[in-house]
Amino acid sequence: QVQLVESGGGLVQAGGSLRLSCVASGRPFSSYDMAWFRQTPGKEREFVAGIMWTGGSTNYADSVKGRFTISRDNAKNTVYLQMNSLKPEDTAVYSCAAGPNFRRSNPADFGFWGQGTQVTVSS
């Protein structure tokens, strides 16, 4: 019902910035909120940020508050994650997800996932 494709990952030095994009398709898309998660080998997938698709309200993990910004362009069916002041510990595969409530932070609450994009932050 919903398809998600991420892009924008890459290699960046600590303190640098990167912007991820996630293009969504499917009907009815407006019934889903969006979120970004990240995962490193050996660690559980963790919530990064969420956004309400219709109203734009946001939710952030404490670890990224003040550094990351989630946003969306409804006309382009795209959600973004602007990442500033990147740290080596931000290194992970970042995936976007669609679910019924942007305030949820449990991966199990999101039914649709993209393939993920690698973000590597060097020290």
pLDDT in tens, 14-62: 999 999 999 999 866 677 899 999 999 999 999 999 999 999 999 999 9
Three-state secondary structure readout of 35-86: EEEEECCCCCCEEEEEECCCCCCEEECCCCCCCEEEEEEHHHCEEEEEECCC
pLDDT reported for residue 27: 67
pLDDT at 1: 76
- Structure confidence at residue 101 (pLDDT): 87
Structure tokens at 93: 């595969």
Residue with tokens 């293009």: 23
* Pairing relationship of beta strands 10-13 and 117-122 according to DSSP bridges: parallel
pLDDT digits (tens, 9 = 90+) for 82-115: 999 999 999 999 999 999 888 889 999 999 999 9
Residue length, the chain?
A: 123
CA–CA distances in Å: residue 80 to residues 18, 43, 101, 116: 10, 24, 17, 13
